[in-house]
Amino acid sequence: MNSAAELTQLGSIAVITMNHPPVNGLGLDLRTAIVAQLDRALADPQIDAIVLAGGERNFSAGADVREFGTSKPSAAPNLPDVIRALEAAGKPVVAAIAGNCLGGGLELAMGCHFRVALRDASLGLPEVKLGLLPGAGGTQRLPRFIGVESALNMIVSGQPVPAQKLAGTALLDEVVESGVVDTAVAFARQIVADKRPAKLARDIRIKDPLAEPFLQFARTNVAAASRPFPAPLQCVEAVANAVGKPFDEGLRLEREIFAALMASPESRALRHIFAAERAATKLPDVSEVPADMPLREIRRVGVIGAGTMGGGITMAFVDAGIPVVLLETKQEALDRGLGTIRRNYETTMKKGKLTQAQLDERIARITPTLDFSALADVDLVIEAVFEEMSVKRDVFTRLDQVAKPGAILASNTSALDLNEIASFTKRPQDVIGLHFFSPANVMKLLEIVRGAKTGPDVLATCMNLAKRIRKTAVVAGVCDGFIGNRMIARYGAAAGMLLMEGASPQQIDGALQRFGLAMGPFRMADLAGLDIGWAARKRREAEQPGSQPRSAADVLCEAGRFGQKTGAGWYRYEAGKRDPIPDPAVDAIVEQFRRDSGVTPRKISDAEIVERCIYALVNEGARILEDGIAARASDIDVVYLSGYGFPRHRGGPMLYADTVGLANVVRALRRIAAAPGAEAWWQPAPLLVKLAEAGRTFN
């Protein structure tokens, strides 16, 4: 007997239970086991009917995504073969659905003759989120069971629906509160007794006069909303086939589209992101951090500094139901910080996303204080004070005195040396970096910075905490800028060089936005505030004289142009608006700067802009991997996707480099490095060269 699906006999009913952790993914093992158990049940004269069940949490989450990219999904029996076998079975087959019933899992259930579901089971066809469409009959069967409009909404959005919402449709014969397998067994007995014939999807004809106009409407809307992804529109076409073509023809066309989408770069990118996000949750060094390591309990959190970041971090915790003690130095600053938090919640309330009672509850979770000793009983403190080592020293020295033993002491520093910060305490094992991104209550990314002495349980606790506050966490090592900002500094510098050589801020931003970035580097700098980079450059110059040659950005800052907050930066902004308006004053500053530096501007193409800026990111990413700052290339992709608006259809900078081909990236970098004075800056990273020469990829 194959353990991926077990058969038990309850009188004349055979129950086939899928048991393939973690989620009953329909890999070759499970598919083979289902068919083997089905054949056993069909051959047994004592068996009258069959129930197909999964686990409590997962009926099945669909095709086994780990098989994608191998020959296994098409190996016999493939998923359509299994579904055909169920559908053609000579004895009634009843699906007993609990937990996730997604993608191929729902397609499997729809191939059964009847379906019984637990009311909170989650039914959906999320393939579109992986850049695919349901490839085992989902686009043909679901519209026949629940109607074109509902089916199309589920297929195009990929959003699952609780079973109770589908009660009363031909999809579900019964929806129950509990005991789904027992009910399915009783149901199967009744069917046998009543000799009730199966109602197969293939026998249903869609007779909906509104289907055609709805499909036409969907085509227009979906085409506009889903660019650059091809899958959503293909979902509409496949459902249109369910309306207009015979069932088997619809199935054949669906399979064809599925194969084409599977080969598309967009699907590759989305599947990479799915795997990358899950890989990032795994602690980088498993041997050092065992899976069963006891975590520290985090019930109350302290936040120091109620400025831009402290306020957002406080909101992230209270939104997740975790109370916060918020410390400032002066009453005025505390009032200002709390006022901003309240205003942010009021804006959310005006949009109808928060009730007055919820707002009051969240505010009540914040205990404002000016007294350091109020932090004595919190389990975690996050410092978000000014980015100056002397201020951090003062804060961590005092924290070391008041925090209870075992409390985690975290810094939100953007770039300062975490090991030095840890050295201000007598408990460096409890010190960690929690680098949130602005606005901290909105941005998904959290870089968890592991110091040289950070305890493995502290690291594991923070990874777990990230999930509680719904952040995408990535572990980074200590260096200037960690993963994200270290890379963005190179990207920004590449953009700065292009500006010097002849491109305008709007041309550079435009080229990168057309590549897919949410915002080009100059718009992003204006949003973040040019003063932040200016302060960092001054700090680096003080540490390493001569390392920060004067730039046009310095000239802008000297003129008080700090970006959106001052109404002018690389662009100008009208009061209360965020639209960047090209500013001749900036052109004049840049042109003067070029003249002063003896540069004759040249014409630069959009392709060159994208090549230089993105390869600068990739090259630094390779160095970050080499230095062990990131554990995996896919972690870097997660950072850029969740924190920097990198286009999802490209899967992150490292996957993009893989897609272009690392040998091509190295060639381009060498070509750029061959220009006079460019050799050192553009030298390809040794790891990049090594992988390219071996014909390998980052991922």
Q: Quick one: tokens of 544?
A: 């390493």
Residue type, 220: T
Residue 327 lies near ligand NAI (rule: CB under 6 A): yes
Which member of 73, 305, 433, 520 binds ligand NAI (CB under 6 A)? 305
- Give the one entry of ligand 3HC, ligand NAI, none that residue 48 binds, where binding means its C-beta sits below a cut-off of 5 to 8 angstroms depending on kind: none
- Give the one entry of ligand 3HC, ligand NAI, none that residue 327 binds, where binding means its C-beta sits below a cut-off of 5 to 8 angstroms depending on kind: ligand NAI
User: CA-to-CA distance for 218 and 669, rounded, in angstroms?
Assistant: 44
Which member of 307, 510, 567, 582 binds ligand NAI (CB under 6 A)? 307
User: CA-to-CA distance for 28 and 20, rounded, in angstroms?
Assistant: 11
Nearer to ligand 3HC, 126 or 481 (CB): 126
Distance between alpha carbon 461 and the CA centroid of its chain, in Å? 21
Question: Minimal CA–CA distance to 20: which of 10, 5, 32?
Answer: 5
**Radius of gyration of the chain from its Cα atoms, rounded to whole angstroms:** 29
Nearer to ligand NAI, 328 or 658 (CB): 328
Q: Quick one: tokens of 439?
A: 């606005």
* Dihedral sign computed on CA atoms, order 239, 245, 246, 251: negative
Q: Which residues contact 622 (CB under 8 A, 6 or more apart)?
A: 684, 685, 687, 688, 698
- Give the one entry of ligand 3HC, ligand NAI, none that residue 307 binds, where binding means its C-beta sits below a cut-off of 5 to 8 angstroms depending on kind: ligand NAI
- Give the one entry of ligand NAI, ligand 3HC, none that residue 308 binds, where binding means its C-beta sits below a cut-off of 5 to 8 angstroms depending on kind: ligand NAI
Residue 308 lies near ligand NAI (rule: CB under 6 A): yes
Nearer to ligand NAI, 40 or 398 (CB): 398
Which member of 26, 83, 176, 385 binds ligand NAI (CB under 6 A)? 385
237 is catalytic: no
Shortest distance (Å) from residue 21 CB to ligand 3HC: 8
Nearer to ligand NAI, 528 or 691 (CB): 528
Return phi, psi of residue 643, to 5°. Answer: -120, -20
Shortest distance (Å) from residue 685 CB to ligand NAI: 26
Query: What 8-state DSSP symbol labels residue 545?
Result: T
User: CA-to-CA distance for 528 and 513, rounded, in angstroms?
Assistant: 17
Q: Residues in contact with ligand NAI, total (CB under 6 A)?
A: 25
- Give the one entry of ligand 3HC, ligand NAI, none that residue 391 binds, where binding means its C-beta sits below a cut-off of 5 to 8 angstroms depending on kind: ligand NAI
Greatest CA span in the chain, whole angstroms?
94
* Dihedral sign computed on CA atoms, order 577, 581, 584, 586: positive
Residue 107 lies near ligand 3HC (rule: CB under 6 A): yes
User: CA-to-CA distance for 346 and 580, rounded, in angstroms?
Assistant: 27
Shortest distance (Å) from residue 416 CB to ligand NAI: 7
User: CA-to-CA distance for 369 and 327, rounded, in angstroms?
Assistant: 5
User: CA-to-CA distance for 434 and 408, rounded, in angstroms?
Assistant: 11
Residue type, 444: K
- Give the one entry of ligand 3HC, ligand NAI, none that residue 64 binds, where binding means its C-beta sits below a cut-off of 5 to 8 angstroms depending on kind: ligand 3HC
Residue 102 lies near ligand 3HC (rule: CB under 6 A): yes
Nearer to ligand 3HC, 16 or 102 (CB): 102
Q: Quick one: tokens of 107?
A: 């397609």
Report 396-415 residues binding ligand NAI (CB under 6 A).
Answer: 412-414
Whether 465 contacts 434, CB under 8 Å = no
Q: Which residues contact 209 (CB under 8 A, 6 or more apart)?
A: none
Nearer to ligand NAI, 379 or 383 (CB): 383
Q: Quick one: tokens of 30?
A: 């499970």
- Give the one entry of ligand NAI, ligand 3HC, none that residue 135 binds, where binding means its C-beta sits below a cut-off of 5 to 8 angstroms depending on kind: ligand 3HC
Torsional class of 137: left (φ above 0), alpha (ψ -120 to 50), beta (otherwise): left
127 is catalytic: yes
Residue type, 550: R
- Which helix (H) or strand (E) segment holds residue 368: the answer is strand 366-369
- Give the one entry of ligand 3HC, ligand NAI, none that residue 634 binds, where binding means its C-beta sits below a cut-off of 5 to 8 angstroms depending on kind: none
Report 272-301 residues binding ligand 3HC (CB under 6 A).
Answer: 278
Which member of 15, 35, 52, 100 binds ligand 3HC (CB under 6 A)? 100
Nearer to ligand NAI, 26 or 309 (CB): 309
Nearer to ligand NAI, 436 or 698 (CB): 436
Residue 25 lies near ligand 3HC (rule: CB under 6 A): yes
Whether 564 contacts 578, CB under 8 Å = yes
Residue 386 lies near ligand NAI (rule: CB under 6 A): yes
β-sheet bridge partners, residue 60: 101
Shortest distance (Å) from residue 427 CB to ligand NAI: 19
Query: One symbol per residue from 420 to 459: x for binding ligand NAI (CB under 6 A), - otherwise; what is it?
Result: ----------------xxx---------------------
DSSP assignment of 157-185 equals H---EEHHHHTTSTT-SEEESS-HHHHHH
Q: Are strands 445-449 and 431-436 parallel, antiparallel or unpaired?
A: antiparallel
Q: Quick one: tokens of 160?
A: 């699952």
- Give the one entry of ligand NAI, ligand 3HC, none that residue 386 binds, where binding means its C-beta sits below a cut-off of 5 to 8 angstroms depending on kind: ligand NAI
Question: Minimal CA–CA distance to 171: which of 197, 138, 196, 194?
Answer: 138
Binding span for ligand 3HC by CB under 6 A among 128-136, 237-245, 569-577, 644-652: 128-136
Alpha helices in 529-629 (DSSP H): 530-543, 552-558, 584-596, 606-626
Residue 134 lies near ligand 3HC (rule: CB under 6 A): yes
Residue 135 lies near ligand 3HC (rule: CB under 6 A): yes
Residue 62 lies near ligand 3HC (rule: CB under 6 A): yes
Residue 391 lies near ligand NAI (rule: CB under 6 A): yes
- Give the one entry of ligand 3HC, ligand NAI, none that residue 433 binds, where binding means its C-beta sits below a cut-off of 5 to 8 angstroms depending on kind: none
Whether 206 contacts 143, CB under 8 Å = yes
- For 96, other C-beta atoms within 10 Å of its C-beta total 31
Residue 310 lies near ligand NAI (rule: CB under 6 A): yes
- Give the one entry of ligand NAI, ligand 3HC, none that residue 126 binds, where binding means its C-beta sits below a cut-off of 5 to 8 angstroms depending on kind: ligand 3HC
- Give the one entry of ligand NAI, ligand 3HC, none that residue 63 binds, where binding means its C-beta sits below a cut-off of 5 to 8 angstroms depending on kind: ligand 3HC
Q: Which residues contact 160 (CB under 8 A, 6 or more apart)?
A: 100, 102, 122, 123, 124, 126, 154
Which residue is nearest to ligand 3HC, using beta carbons?
A: 103
Distance between alpha carbon 471 and the CA centroid of its chain, in Å? 9
Q: Residues in contact with ligand 3HC, total (CB under 6 A)?
A: 24
Nearer to ligand NAI, 127 or 447 (CB): 447
The residue annotated as part of the active site, out of 6, 56, 87, 107, is 107
Residue 333 lies near ligand NAI (rule: CB under 6 A): yes
Question: Minimal CA–CA distance to 583: which of 567, 602, 599?
Answer: 567
Nearer to ligand 3HC, 132 or 638 (CB): 132
Which member of 218, 384, 422, 459 binds ligand NAI (CB under 6 A)? 384
Report 280-299 residues binding ligand NAI (CB under 6 A).
Answer: none
Tell me how many helices (H) and strands (E) the chain has: 29, 18
Cα–Cα distances in Å, from 466 out to 27, 191, 203, 254, 694? Answer: 31, 49, 49, 39, 37
What does the binding site for ligand NAI look like in residue numbers (CB under 6 A)? 304-310, 327-329, 333, 384-387, 391, 394-395, 412-414, 436-438, 528
Residues annotated catalytic, as ranges: 107, 127
Residues forming the site for ligand 3HC (CB under 6 A)? 22-23, 25, 61-66, 79, 100, 102-104, 107, 126-127, 130, 132, 134-136, 138, 278
